[in-house]
Structures are given as C-alpha cells and as structure tokens.
Structure 1
C-alpha cells in the first residue's frame, strides 16, 4: 500500500509552488475560475515558462483543492493550508486530481464529446484491471477490454435502433451484424453514442491513447514499450475507490439512498458506532461538497436532534468540511455546533473544547439540546439534562435562559416543569416559561 509520506513527495512541485505563489499575490481570476490573461502572462514571465504551462499548473492546483476562487480572487484552499501538517490532506488532494483526470488533461477537440464521455465511463474498469494485474499490461489487451466495456455500456443504455433496419446498417459484418459489430471496432452505434461518421473520426485506439496520456499526466500510471502500469499512488487511489464502493454497498441501516434529513432520522436510534458506519456509507455514495451542503441544510431545520446529528456526521467527513463549517459560524442556530466542531478539528483537548463557547452560546446550546430531548427522548432524560447546564444552580440557569433568545425556550421549560418530580422546582420553571412567553422579567 502506498504510504502518506511517499504521497506527499509525489505531486508535482510545479503546481504546488505555483499555487502558493498565486494565492500569495491574490491572483485575479474570472468568475469561472480561469486565470486572467494579465495574471497568466505576469506569472509566466516571472517563472520563465509559457503561458500554457502556467494555465496548466493553475488548473491542476484548482482541481487538487490547493486554490479556491472567491469573487474573482484566488485564495488558499484548505488543502494548501493543511499541506505541511496533514498527510491525509495531501492524499485527498491527489485523489481529487485523480478523479478529475479528464479535466486536468482534456481530450483533443477533434474527439466527439459523446465518445469522450463513454471513454471516461469505461476507464474505471481499465484501472481495476490494471490493479488486479499488479504489473505491466499490453496496450492492445487494454484496447480489447476498452472496446468490450463500451459495448456493454451501450447495451445497458439500450442503444439499439428501433423498428425495421435498413440493410445498409449491416454492411460487411455478416449475418450477426448489429450494434457494436461493425468494422470500426464496436464503437459505432446509436445516435447518442456516436454513429458510423462519428466513430470514423474517433477510433477506439485514439480514445484509449488520450485516456492513458491523461492518467499518466496526473501520475496514476506510466506508459512505456507498449505497456501501461499503475504507479503505486495510482494503485492506492483505485483501492480507495473500491473501498468507497464497498462501504456504500454495506449501508447497515439501509439509508444510503435517503436525503440527508431522512438519513439522520434513520440514525437517531442507532448506537454511536452503528450511526458512524451509516454516515460513512452515506458519504461514500456522494460527492463530499454536495454531502456537506445537504448536512448543513438539515442542521438549519427546526428539529434540534437533526442539528446535533448533522454535526456528528460532519465529524466523519473531517477536514474537507472545514471551509463550509467555518462559513456558518455567524448563523445563530449553527454557531455553537460549528465552534465546537472547529475546536475539535484544530486539536483542542476534549475536556477543554467547551471553553470555546461564551456563556450565552453554551446556554443557547443547552436549550437546543433540551429541545431535542423533549421532542425525541424520555422525561427522565430531560430532567437529567439539567446536570449538563453551564450554570451552577437551577435559578441561575433560569435567569440566563430567559434572555438567551432561543425560539424553543418556552416549550423546553414547559416540558421540564411537567417532567421534574420536585414540585417547588417545577413551579419555578413554569414561572420562567410564563415570563419568557409574556416578555416579562
């Protein structure tokens, strides 16, 4: 298995140093993220390279998550900030580049988009075969596998013309002629997958050659003497992808196809380890950016239980969620959760993590957690929740709860009064609920 230390040395120093230099100067970029002409020419002159090379390094740095563009200005991506202290960030950055191999080294303009898309879809099987082979594989053997995979994809899409077929559709192929059996090597059927004219302009060998060049450009494999071989890093990335597929296929509670909100509800009754396994399965089946956005949207809802569970799932995401979590610290309902998450991410001692919250934020979080218990827990749990209050006494808690401004304060206090076995304390809690409800003191 390829180690993190080796992976740290593998990515090209050119785009790493360029990323640091570019964001250091706050390089201007277009809204699409492309480097501006003026900036590209300036960097090219400074580095003594071509503008084309500068743009290549820029695009590679963006795909690896080293550079982010906000409002037309380049800034350090979270991976660039974490590069020297977090080997896992380096590995994830390379996997992001590996996933974007077809963007890092685009197909020649002469290749039809439809056949390029088929090539991208067929490549994972080629990579799996290369990994299983554990050594060089002749390119002609990969070409046979590639053609077979494309035929399978077209069969799955049912790209077979309907209705009576003209005899000219089967020229030169004998009685078994049909989609995928023509003289073009099997890549010439269907209006969307490329007809005979399109495939004539895109021979399978050319498509495969582009894919191998692109994968070599991102360091996933090497090509020499008519053979292709996965690099150690490429083998590791394929293993990571297979592991993600396996994890996604083993969703213990069967919530993998659910929305973030429904998945979190499904995890509410699971034990912590089982819930984390479910989070991992759900996350493995999604793009990390989309998953984080869905979890934060679920956290913004009215159900306080989902808010807490969403941030537990974000703990499973780890570092890739850091920019999005940091961006919500100014949202009142998410601020305490986000601050605690960030403190844990930055390595604060678990016993001291609560110190990152102000007294008011701690009180707000106590009410929010109490709302989750009141909605989904038992009365006894709500009573025991009093022990976790940041205030040393119940009267002090009630004084501060009245001013914290949580929208569920009244309901929490009413539920607590109904559940508490001490009549005197229950009366004081009901009085506080009435004062909050009427706006009194």
Structure 2
C-alpha cells in the first residue's frame, strides 16, 4: 500500500534526480532546483502529467523524504536510493508523510493559529480511538472526543478561554475531566458518550462563543480528516472515518514507541547521548540495545543521530564504539549522516564497518572493507577503550584481534598509523603482558613513538 500510494511522488523524485541534479541538463533558468513554473511545466511534459499533479507529487516527495533540496540542486533522499531494495525505506517514507499530515492540505481560513495547533495536538488521541475501534466511526463521535481533548489541553495549561466571554458566572469549559474520561484512547477504551459510565466529571456542553464548541471545531476536524485521508491514513466520507490498514499499522507503531520509551530499563531516557552511552557501558548487549531503542524512541531520529556522532567524536574511545552500536539500532535513517563522517579519521573505520553491515555484509566479514591502516587505527582505538575501562587480561587478549601476523609487525604499523593514544596503549599493554621480552619490546616501541624516533 505504501509503494502504491507513493508511486507518483517517487516518479517525480526520480525525474528531479535526473533533471535537476548538479551538472545535469534541464535545470531551471535561474539555476535553482526549486519547482518553478518552468520546471513544473517541463516535468509535466516529460511525465505526461498536469502541472498541478507534478506540484502535488513534488510536495509529497519532499514530505516523505524522497527528495531533498540543497541550495541550487535537488538530490534524492536515502529512501529513494533504497526504494527498490528495502521495504523498510518505503514504510519509513510513508510514516514521514503520515507525521507531516498537517502540512499535506492547507488549513481552513478564519481560525486562530492556536486553535489549529490544539487540533493537531489532539489528533493522536482521535487516531488512537479509530485504531481501537477497528472500523468506521461516526464523525459526530470523533468531534465529541476532539472537543474533550482540546478542553483537557487547555485545562492542563490553566488557560483562560480566548473566545468571546459569556456572562459572569457562566461555565465555559466545564470541570476538568478525570483521567479515565479525559484519556479515552488510552484508558477507558475511548467509549462513546452514550456508553461511557457516568463519572460525575463529564464536560458540560460549551457555552456560545466557546472555541471548543462544535461550530468552531467541526471545520478543523473536517480539515484534519481530509488531510489524513490525502496521505492514505484513513478513508473519510458519508459522515464516517475509518483507518486504512496502513494507517492502523502506523498508529500501532506510534503507540509501541511510546511504550518502549516509557520502559527505559536503565533509566537513561532523559540523558544526553554521552551520558546515556556511559550508562549503557556496563550493560549486556541485549540490555544495552533495549536502552538504545528506548532513548531513540523518545526523540527525533535526526537529532538523535547528530547527538550520537557528536559523542563519538569525543576523546573516550569506548563511547565511540558504543555510539556506533546505537546507530546500528537506528538503521537506514542514519546512513546519510554516517557517510558524511567518512572523511574524519577517528570515525572512518567505524563508519565503514557500519555501512558494510548496513549493506548486508556479514558482521564477521565486515572488517575486510578496511585497509590495513584503517584496521590498525581501529585496533589502537579499541585498545584505548580497553585500557581505560577494561582489565589487564582483556588488553592482552586484544592482541589476538590484530590483523598483523606478528607482534613486531603490529608495533611497526601501530607506530606509523599516528593514533593520538598510541603511547598510552603501548605502555598499558607492556604493563599488562606477562611475557617480559614482549613487554620490553612494547615499552621500547612506546618510547620511540613518544620521542619521535624510529
């Protein structure tokens, strides 16, 4: 369903990749890769579409991350590159469009921006209700739910209504609903008003002029449902709304993410990336991955990836390795950012291994993508992490993972690779190794690196 729904935007995105990329013929006259009238007309002619269809598909392609505009060029997003080989890229593209539903259709005119924002904030509750209902729901029932949720949002903010005021003493918002009635999608099963047991706290009907009333919210609910229908999340017509299978799946995924984020096993969900990684350092691999998933579920993917890469750039080699383990949990959305650090010597070996595994290379064979120098750099970096955080026997065992066949060959290449922690690593290894002759050779190598000798 996601492939079918995004077929048009994919077609326009691929056309843009061919016609508007750097150095390609067919760029607009002003040299910008925006969809100007000239560009839209040319795309319509090339694709056999109307300019309105081209513009609509272009907007959808950008919302779904299929195409990205950077300065004077348009380039395909990672989802378009992976479209034919990765079903998860297709689903992520559609979920990005689903998340941007409020941008898919112009909002109705004549409404306060605050009211529109409240409806957007309240729609997840409406969608949860639709998901739990598993069938058509009358719009009147959704309007009642929306009204309650908007009232709850204002009550939580202790906000004075901004609409025309009623006579003194008139009840504008009604008493604050209790938790079960105020959160029907997550607590009381989103029961309709006719079947929900009385609690004594149900909101009264809004007074005239109250911006939470039917007359104010009905057009905004209509807009929201039409926008969600335009992205394929639901069907809407005849006074009924029904989630599509794709929309039901997306709502389920969102609820699951909330549950995962709420169950952070080690309690690091609120920490910055560096502190979170330090908190995971002593966890077993499965427990650490669960913590990464919880941490990632609580924040936007883009900012989370940026935080992890910033942590990887620090001096602590252990955090560098853990950051890329967390990026493995992120998966495909991290690919552009991981590729962008290939020019950074400290991150390049980790990035190459990550990309190889992402492309399907067996983790045990991924090291083959590294040059001898890159493998040596990674060996020293990992040894630094062991020296800082591990035990002496672990550092001795780390010798076995070196690509060099002999210790003298390893020492020669370690001296040449120029890692900033080389001296400390060699000193720690010499102190830990039980063989006096080998320890002496390692100390000599450390001294040579320190003094700049050969």
Question: Structure 1 residues 40-49 or 131-140, which shifts more?
Answer: 40-49
Gaps of 5+ in 1: 1-5, 163-167, 189-198
> In the aligned structure 2, how far is the partner of 1:222 from the partner of 1:31?
41
Secondary structure of the corresponding residue to residue 406 of structure 1: coil
Judged with a 3 Å threshold, the aligned counterparts in structure 2 of structure 1 residues 31 and 25 are, in CA distance, closer, same or farther, namely closer
> In the aligned structure 2, how far is the partner of 1:126 from the partner of 1:32?
41
Tell me, yes or no, if the aligned pair for 2:32 and 2:73 is still in contact at 8 Å. Answer: no
Judged with a 3 Å threshold, the aligned counterparts in structure 2 of structure 1 residues 145 and 178 are, in CA distance, closer, same or farther, namely closer
Q: Match of 2:9?
A: 15
1:181 lines up with 2:206 in the alignment: yes
Shift of 1:203: 1.6
Question: Structure 1 residues 420-429 or 336-345, which shifts more?
Answer: 420-429
Candidates 401, 405, 422, aligned match of 1:388:
401
1:169 lines up with 2:165 in the alignment: yes
> In the aligned structure 1, how far is the partner of 2:84 from the partner of 2:118?
38
1:54 lines up with 2:54 in the alignment: yes
Candidates 341, 362, 372, aligned match of 1:359:
372
> In the aligned structure 2, how far is the partner of 1:161 from the partner of 1:222?
33
> In the aligned structure 1, how far is the partner of 2:144 from the partner of 2:34?
37
Tell me, yes or no, if the aligned pair for 1:260 and 1:298 is still in contact at 8 Å. Answer: yes
Shift of 1:106: 2.9
> In the aligned structure 2, how far is the partner of 1:426 from the partner of 1:374?
15
Secondary structure of the corresponding residue to residue 403 of structure 1: helix
Shift of 1:42: 2.1
Shift of 1:71: 2.9
Question: Structure 1 residues 48-57 or 23-32, which shifts more?
Answer: 23-32
* Mapping of residues 153-302 of structure 1, within 5 Å: 153-160=153-160, 169-171=165-167, 175-177=170-172, 181-187=206-212, 203-302=216-315
> In the aligned structure 1, how far is the partner of 2:144 from the partner of 2:81?
44
> In the aligned structure 2, how far is the partner of 1:109 from the partner of 1:56?
20
Judged with a 3 Å threshold, the aligned counterparts in structure 2 of structure 1 residues 214 and 143 are, in CA distance, closer, same or farther, namely same
Question: Structure 1 residues 40-49 or 15-24, which shifts more?
Answer: 40-49
Tell me, yes or no, if the aligned pair for 1:185 and 1:204 is still in contact at 8 Å. Answer: no
Q: Match of 2:185?
A: none
Tell me, yes or no, if the aligned pair for 2:32 and 2:71 is still in contact at 8 Å. Answer: no
Judged with a 3 Å threshold, the aligned counterparts in structure 2 of structure 1 residues 250 and 132 are, in CA distance, closer, same or farther, namely same
- What is the total number of aligned residue pairs between the two structures? 417
Q: What's the TM-score, normalizing by structure 2?
A: 0.87
1:121 lines up with 2:116 in the alignment: no
* Mapping of residues 31-110 of structure 1, within 5 Å: 34-110=34-110
> In the aligned structure 2, how far is the partner of 1:411 from the partner of 1:344?
31
Summarize deviations over 1:124-173 as a string: whole Å, max 9, x none. 000000011111111011111111100100111111379xxxxx8333x8
Q: Match of 2:149?
A: 149
* Mapping of residues 295-374 of structure 1, within 5 Å: 295-374=308-387
In angstroms, what is the RMSD of aligned CA positions?
2.2
Summarize deviations over 1:349-386 as a string: whole Å, max 9, x none. 33321110000000000000000001101111111111
Shift of 1:289: 0.9
Shift of 1:281: 0.5
Tell me, yes or no, if the aligned pair for 2:68 and 2:77 is still in contact at 8 Å. Answer: yes
Secondary structure of the corresponding residue to residue 75 of structure 1: strand
Q: Match of 1:3?
A: none
Shift of 1:85: 1.1
Secondary structure of the corresponding residue to residue 98 of structure 1: helix
Tell me, yes or no, if the aligned pair for 2:138 and 2:240 is still in contact at 8 Å. Answer: yes
Structure 1 stretches (4+) deviating beyond 6 angstroms? Answer: 29-33
Judged with a 3 Å threshold, the aligned counterparts in structure 2 of structure 1 residues 318 and 361 are, in CA distance, closer, same or farther, namely same
Secondary structure of the corresponding residue to residue 165 of structure 2: helix
Judged with a 3 Å threshold, the aligned counterparts in structure 2 of structure 1 residues 328 and 177 are, in CA distance, closer, same or farther, namely closer
Shift of 1:185: 4.9
Secondary structure of the corresponding residue to residue 263 of structure 1: helix
> In the aligned structure 2, how far is the partner of 1:289 from the partner of 1:51?
32
Secondary structure of the corresponding residue to residue 302 of structure 1: coil
Shift of 1:186: 4.8
Judged with a 3 Å threshold, the aligned counterparts in structure 2 of structure 1 residues 107 and 32 are, in CA distance, closer, same or farther, namely farther
